[in-house]
């Protein structure tokens, strides 16, 4: 069996009891960054073999992992934070398990996407999560334009070094949209900062952001604004 296990996105206390039991009882753990996962395991005094599984080696590791699973092993799949596969490695392994008729189960838990959505104050439904914003300026503007035109609350993961650039793009394409910067979720300096793009851009130009960021954007459609 392959167990897909959500791990804390910041606060180590957010791990579930079921996840801890699974990590203690599995035969080995496939981890995005074994050094990062080792800190979590040491915190809970768990000792298990760790197998590196990240975006650059997932393809060539699948055969090895499938062999272990077919021989009867129970493997856990974790990433650095949150739910595996959600802008993290694991999709190809899970798909390969289904093709090989190997049992897959998911142990739910922390994820930045619903956490940011719940704390943003923006409409929770409908919403769309679109992963990391593109690095190239043209693709970034296209993604942000599509987001504000969708009529949904759109969520992106964003680098603190590029946040102001994205907010400046939003100033141009949709100055009236609502934005929430959800930063360092569940950690000591957690922040939900709401406002229009210009206000938030000014704030973060004067106080450069740090840490992990989920950017949420919403603009009502013309029909909703007229209602």
Q: Could you state, in order of their start, the residue ranges of all structural domains in the chain?
A: 2-107, 112-226
The pair of structure tokens assigned to 213 is 């960021």
- pLDDT given at position 41: 97
The C-alpha atoms of residue 109 and residue 9 are separated, in whole angstroms, by: 10
- pLDDT given at position 221: 76
* Matching fold, domains 2-107 and 112-226: no
- The candidate with the shortest Cα–Cα distance to 133, out of 125, 122, 142, is 142
> Domain 2-107 classified CATH 3.40.1010.10?
yes
Burial 194-217 (b: 16+ CB within 10 A, else e): bebbeebbeebeeeebeebbbbbb
Contacts with 64 (C-beta within 8 Å, 6 or more apart), sequence order: none
Architecture of the CATH domain 112-226: 2-Layer Sandwich (3.30)
The pair of structure tokens assigned to 214 is 């989920």
**Largest Cα span, the chain:** 62
**Spans of the chain, pLDDT less than 70:** 222-227
- The candidate with the shortest Cα–Cα distance to 86, out of 117, 47, 48, 126, is 117
**Side-chain half-sphere of 48: how many Cα atoms within 13 Å?**
29
- The candidate with the shortest Cα–Cα distance to 152, out of 116, 118, 178, 185, is 178
- pLDDT given at position 222: 62
């Amino acid at each position: 069996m392959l167990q897909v296990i959500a791990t804390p996105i910041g606060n180590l206390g957010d791990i579930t009891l079921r996840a801890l039991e699974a990590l203690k009882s599995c035969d080995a753990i496939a981890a995005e960054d074994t050094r990062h996962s080792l800190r979590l395991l040491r915190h809970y005094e768990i000792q298990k073999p760790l197998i590196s599984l990240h975006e650059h080696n997932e393809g060539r590791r699948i055969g090895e992992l499938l062999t272990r699973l077919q021989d009867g092993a129970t493997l856990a799949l974790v990433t650095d934070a949150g739910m595996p596969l959600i802008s993290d490695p694991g999709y190809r392994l899970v798909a390969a398990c289904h093709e090989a008729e190997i049992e897959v189960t998911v142990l739910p838990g922390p994820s930045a996407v619903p956490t940011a959505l719940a704390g943003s104050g923006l409409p929770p439904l409908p919403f769309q999560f679109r992963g990391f914003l593109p690095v190239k300026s043209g693709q970034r503007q296209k993604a942000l334009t599509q987001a504000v035109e969708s009529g949904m609350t759109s969520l992106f993961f964003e680098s603190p070094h590029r946040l102001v650039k994205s907010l400046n793009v939003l100033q141009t394409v949709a100055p009236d949209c609502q934005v929430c910067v959800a930063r360092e979720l569940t950690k000591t300096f957690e922040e939900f900062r709401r406002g229009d793009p210009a206000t938030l851009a000014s704030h973060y130009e004067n106080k450069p952001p740090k840490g992990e960021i989920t950017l949420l954007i919403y603009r009502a459609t013309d029909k909703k604004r007229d209602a």
